[in-house]
Amino acid sequence: MRWRAEASGCDASATASRSDSALWGWAIMEIQQLRYFLAAANHSSFARAAGQCFTSRQNIAHSVNALERELNLPLFERRGNSVVVTPAGQEVAGRVDEILSRIDALQALSVGQVPAEAGLRAAVTYNLLARVPEKVESYLYQFDRGIKLLEVGCEDCYHAICTDEADVGLALCMQRDFPECGFEEVNRLKAYVLVNEMSPLARRSQLSVFDLKDQRIALMSESSFQYEPLFSQLGSLGYDFSNLSIAATASGLYGIKRNEAVGIATSYFVESLPEGMRAVPFDDTRYDWCIYALYPKRSNRLATIMRFVQGLRKSYLDA
Q: How far apart are CA 319 and CA 143, in angstroms?
A: 16
> What is d(CA 124, CA 127) in angstroms, rounded to the nearest whole number?
8
Average per-residue pLDDT for the chain: 82
**∠ at Cα 30 (24, 35), nearest 5°?**
95
Please list, residue by residue across 144-179, b when 16 or more beta carbons sit within 10 angstroms of its beta carbon and e when fewer do: eeebebebbbbbbbbbbbbeeebbbbbbbbbbbebe
Round the CA-based radius of gyration of the chain to a whole number and report it. Answer: 23
* 92-109 tens-digit pLDDT: 988 988 888 887 777 666
184: helix, coil or strand? strand
Instruction: Report the pLDDT value the prediction gives residue 183, as an integer from 0 to 100.
Output: 95
Which of 223, 281, 133 is closest to 273 using CA atoms?
281
CA angle 45, 48, 52 (to 5 degrees): 130
Give tens-digit pLDDT for 44-103: 888 878 777 767 777 888 889 888 988 899 999 987 667 899 999 999 988 988 888 887
Q: What pTM was computed for the model?
A: 0.65
Q: Above 60 in pLDDT, residue 28?
A: no
**CB–CB of 166/123 below 8 Å?**
yes
Q: Which residues of 70-83 are buried (b: 16+ CB within 10 A; e: fewer)?
A: ebebebbeeeeeeb
The answer to which of 148-152, 194-198, 263-267 has the lowest mean pLDDT is 148-152
Question: Which domains does the chain show, CATH number per domain?
Answer: 2-110 (1.10.10.10), 120-184+296-318 (3.40.190.10), 191-287 (3.40.190.10)
Distance, in Å, from the CA atom of 244 to the CA atom of 262, rounded to the nearest integer, reads 10
CB 100 within 8 A of CB 91: no
Taken as a whole, the chain contains a residue count of: 319
84 Cα distance to chain centroid: 22
Three-state DSSP state, 296: coil
* Tens of pLDDT, residues 261-313: 898 988 888 887 888 899 999 999 999 999 999 999 888 888 899 999 999 99
Q: What's the CA gap between 231 and 293, in Å, rounded?
A: 23
DSSP alpha helices (H): ranges in 163-288? 228-236, 249-257, 267-270
- Name the DSSP letter for residue 282: B
Provide the 10 A C-beta neighbour count for residue 184.
Answer: 14
pLDDT tens digit sequence for 202-213: 999 999 999 999
DSSP secondary structure of 38-96: HHHHHHT-HHHHHHHHTS-HHHHHHHHHHHHHHHTS--EEEETTEEEE-HHHHHHHHHH
Q: Are strands 120-125 and 82-85 parallel, antiparallel or unpaired?
A: unpaired
The packing angle between helices 57-71 and 46-53, to 10°, is 110
- Distance in angstroms between the alpha carbons of the first and the last residue of the chain: 19
